[in-house]
A and B are shown apart, each in its own frame.
Chain A
């Protein structure tokens, strides 16, 4: 837990609950799209310093897929979805109804599948925040990258101007039948965004 943002357990609980609701909505949206059931579990949410984030996601040179979306309006910030290379391939298989392990490289179709998933997930998350707080936010067109984790994460952080601040990391797991795929969801709140969020939720800072 940080000294700087002074997040109490109850604040984190609220954020995790919002994530649960948001990603639950995403699971429903996915199931409609795929005409079959996909569950999304959110086992863990935490606030982290930048330096702590990198090793959690993987090695600096490890290849990852990343969908990045910024938002502004009543509150501003960036949300990111990151999958390790192998998880990204598995996800493509799961969502295209192929046998897990069939995909071994990222095709244009695979890229658009991951982009679409990222879009649904981040969109559902933002909608959940919006409906729980009554705040209005506009999201940008999602951006995609597939390369070294360190390069992608640092470029995102620099571009969003969040280097010195903390980020909310939400671990997510996609479940279908017996298969599990892990991904990392990030919320990079803009200046004052968290205060405004908690105020709108009626939780004293």
Chain B
């Protein structure tokens, strides 16, 4: 990731940072100093959880808000209502404490211009809303959001600082 700003301690301590990719409808947890990255969120929503004390982080790439609308759920991480609680229990298994957890959200865009509600059904907005609700139920504080609009976003969680980087086509890297 050449586009990311270099870390102060990176050269001096020669820390090997692994960048772990989180695919669509997947979730992953990682510890300091690794990074979690999910590419090209459109109407999908990325939710990162981070414990600043143990420096453990987790990231999920959600596609749909509500699993109860489907009979056959094979990938729980696809849905906000199932995936976020799963990420919550995974990250605690990894040593994070629930009281420390901070969430950041990105994505939930409407990608098509001239979009009628009939086509996109504002899935991005519904994903974001369900993600917020689910986090609230779990008692997790939302620290930052980068939601809505009509641009795709790549989301990167740095477990050293807890910073989340947002990359968009043709734009400067943004930190939230």
Contact = CB atoms under 8 A, between A and B. Distances in A.
A60 B38 CA distance: 10
A158 B64 contact: yes
A150 B113 contact: no
Contacts of B116: 140-141, 143
Interface range, B side: 20 to 34
25 contacts: A61-B39, A61-B40, A61-B167, A68-B112, A141-B116, A143-B112, A143-B113, A144-B113, A144-B114, A145-B112, A147-B111, A150-B152, A151-B151, A151-B152, A152-B111, A153-B42, A154-B24, A154-B40, A155-B109, A155-B111, A156-B111, A158-B123, A159-B119, A160-B119, A163-B78
Choose among B111, B119, B123, B151 the residue with the greatest number of A CB atoms under 10 Å from its CB: B111
B169 A147 contact: yes
Interface in B120-176: 120-121, 123-124, 150-154, 167-170
Contacts of A145: 111-113, 150
Contact of B119 (A143, A152, A154, A163): A143
Interface of A: 60-61, 63, 66, 68, 70, 140-145, 147-156, 158-160, 163
Given A148-B168, A152-B112, A156-B112, 20 more contacts: A61-B152, A61-B167, A66-B112, A140-B119, A141-B114, A143-B115, A143-B116, A144-B113, A145-B111, A147-B150, A147-B169, A148-B154, A150-B40, A151-B42, A151-B44, A151-B109, A151-B153, A154-B40, A155-B44, A155-B111
A88 to B, nearest CB: 13
Contacts of A150: 24, 39-40, 42, 152
Contact of A152 (B24, B152, B170): B152
Interface in B96-118: 109-116, 118
